[in-house]
């Protein structure tokens, strides 16, 4: 059985499912490598319009696999740094994927599972989902995921949950910005979001995602970017379709 299941439909929606339910989709070296490769490949494919990231079984992801952590504890500092860099590359690849990424969270999302959610563009969680940045309870810190988590929840919430290791609810995750929507019908909510994404120009969505990632938005930068979009083939098609009261080409 593969640890990662990848399915796609005729619309270009790809489902990436963590498939280690016996260990609550905790990730090890193999899953880290598979996820990195999957998102690198999908990000380059023109036919991919959206990616849904989910977990099989009771949990979204419980973070790091205990056996992997035990192996890491037996390694020296240099080897641990190499492992951490591979993990960082996985999160960075998901975070910067030019395709919109939707996270569907059920059950537990702890440690690195919170990191995965933080790297998604939009996150929907079931009301019963539980979150936690519990690394300090193991004498560790959420170092590799910190850039992505802090960017999502802000320093104030990070100062609490990085330090206390408390579990928190889906409602609290929504309040602090980690989750965008709490819905008992996870798949139905995801389907509505996919429909919304498919209504947008795929190139424009990639540009919009990159715009959000800009560290400093200046007038010159934003003017340059909108000018390029207006002059693009996709931008011209979108405006023409709006004026003609028809669907744009990417929706046909």
Task: Tell me phi and psi for residue 8, to 5 degrees.
Answer: -135, 160
CA distance 153 to 132: 13
| Angle, in degrees to the nearest 10, between helices 202-213 and 219-231 | 170
Cβ atoms 27, 65 nearer than 8 A: yes
CA distance 49 to 203: 10
Alpha-carbon distance values, 10 to 13, 70, 238 (Å): 7, 42, 22
Nearest to 109 by CA among 188, 184, 55: 55
CA distance 36 to 29: 11
Radius of gyration of the chain (CA): 19
| Alpha helix segments (H runs only) across 96-168 | 112-119, 146-164
Answer yes or no: 29 catalytic.
Answer: no
Cβ atoms 180, 122 nearer than 8 A: yes
Residues 6+ apart with CB under 8 A from 147: none
Cβ atoms 87, 136 nearer than 8 A: no
Cβ atoms 23, 31 nearer than 8 A: no
From the list 82, 135, 203, 237, the catalytic residue is 135
Just list the catalytic residues: 135
């Amino acid at each position: 059985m593969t640890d990662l299941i990848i399915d796609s439909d005729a619309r270009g929606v790809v489902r990436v499912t963590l498939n280690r339910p016996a260990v609550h989709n905790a990730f090890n070296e193999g899953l880290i490598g598979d996820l990195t490769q999957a998102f690198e490949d999908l990000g380059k494919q023109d036919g991919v319009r959206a990616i849904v990231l989910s977990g099989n079984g009771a949990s979204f992801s419980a973070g790091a696999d205990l056996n992997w952590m035990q192996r890491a504890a037996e390694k020296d500092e240099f080897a641990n740094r190499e492992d951490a860099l591979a993990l960082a590359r996985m999160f960075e690849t998901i975070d910067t994927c030019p395709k919109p990424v939707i996270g569907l969270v059920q059950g537990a999302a702890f440690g690195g599972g919170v990191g995965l959610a933080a790297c998604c563009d939009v996150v929907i969680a079931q009301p019963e989902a539980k979150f936690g940045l519990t690394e300090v309870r193991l004498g560790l810190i959420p170092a590799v995921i910190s850039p992505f988590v802090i960017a999502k929840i802000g320093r104030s919430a990070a100062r609490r949950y990085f330090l206390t290791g408390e579990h928190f609810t889906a409602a609290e995750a929504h309040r602090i910005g980690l989750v965008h929507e709490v819905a008992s019908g996870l798949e139905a909510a995801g389907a509505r979001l996919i429909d919304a994404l498919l209504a947008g120009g795929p190139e424009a969505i990639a540009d919009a995602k990159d715009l959000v990632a800009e560290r400093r938005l200046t007038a010159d930068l934003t003017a340059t970017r909108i000018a390029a979009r207006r002059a693009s083939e996709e931008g011209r098609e979108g405006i023409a379709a709006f004026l003609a009261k028809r669907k744009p080409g990417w929706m046909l």
